[in-house]
Chains A and B, each alone.
Chain A
Amino acid sequence: MSIRTPVRPSGPGGPEAGGLRHRLAERGIDRQLWLLAPAIVFVVLLFLYPFFYGLQLSFQPNDGGPLADYDRFFSDAYQRDTIATTLGLSLPAALLNVLASVPLAYRMRGRFRGKRLVTTVLVVPITLGTVLTAEGLLNYLGPAGWFNRVLIELHLVDEPVTLIHNYWGVFLSIVITGFPFAFLLILSYLSGIDPSLERAAATLGAGWWQRFRRITLPLLAPGLATTFCLTFVLAFSVFPSAILVGNPAGSTRVISIAAYQAAYEQYDYPYASAIAMVMGLVELAVIALVLLWRTTLFKGSTGGKG
């Protein structure tokens, strides 16, 4: 009985390189990993390098110590309040998008005539994009627009309702672009939940509310968390609609406007980078909280998972 170490036929590198290659291969490293290289180069060059460049730029303000720009941001109420404005817009809008999608998706997850048509119609608003939505909102909700005309004709209001150039215009624009997206994701998660689980609960005598509360909702919760995160990212980076249908100097001065103005109106790149970093941090903090909550949820293999 001879035990032979499995040595590969050594390549051009000689027996030693072959041994090393073999040991690396046992740990999962071999030439196939080179396929990953272009993508990693891309992420490093185009995302990580600019990101860290911006990070170190934000600590080199045009005047003052390393933290001067952060200090400037947080001590100026006009700038500091943009964080609250952004969260005040994006959190309720993302929450509404997710919560409104659940009953609708719950209704729609079975098969019925025209399902494909309904889903197609639901995708259309995604393609409108923020700029067209803004233009439409200005036309439709404006003082002489159709919406106010209908309300006045029905004698619901006497004066045209102001829904543009304020908080509500931006809020509606986020809902219009974000809702279909949230709906599709939740429909997809809901469809992944095995319907036989609910049927089993039904045979045991659970009513529809009990089935939803005890079976579907716990299975769906991780998917809800993921959907909320993705919708929140969309809502948090609201930029064109905050300028076009909002009140960019006042009630809808979101943090991306502050960053943009610092970079392209004051040409103060360190300050703009500092604001961009604050923006990223706030957003990641919210997402981290949601994902942290998600880890406490069921993580089985039965659909609904993120």
Chain B
Amino acid sequence: MTDPDIGSLETEMNRGFLQILVLALLEKDMYGYSMVKHIERLGYKVEENTLYPLLRRLEKNGLVGSKWDLGEDRPRKFYAITAAGRALRTSLLGVWKNQNRILSEINKENIDAQ
């Protein structure tokens, strides 16, 4: 039997993960390019053309705010998490921790059964 292609499944998993990741990352103000590079340094890759639409959706829902900084040699748009974003992040991290615990327990059961 060949290994299943995880590409599309990984994309689906990443969709939720990316939202928590961005909300976690924006505890301090960051602009898009710096977020991409920061995430890359942590060993994960985010498509740049995926990040900006996500930021826009989060902003539309009041979870992040943004402002343009025109002081540098080129304009940069900085994003920051809002109070609503922090509340959501806490809830999402709770969901993620619970999912993680469930998978760990099932994994442990499987190892014990072998």
A binds B: no
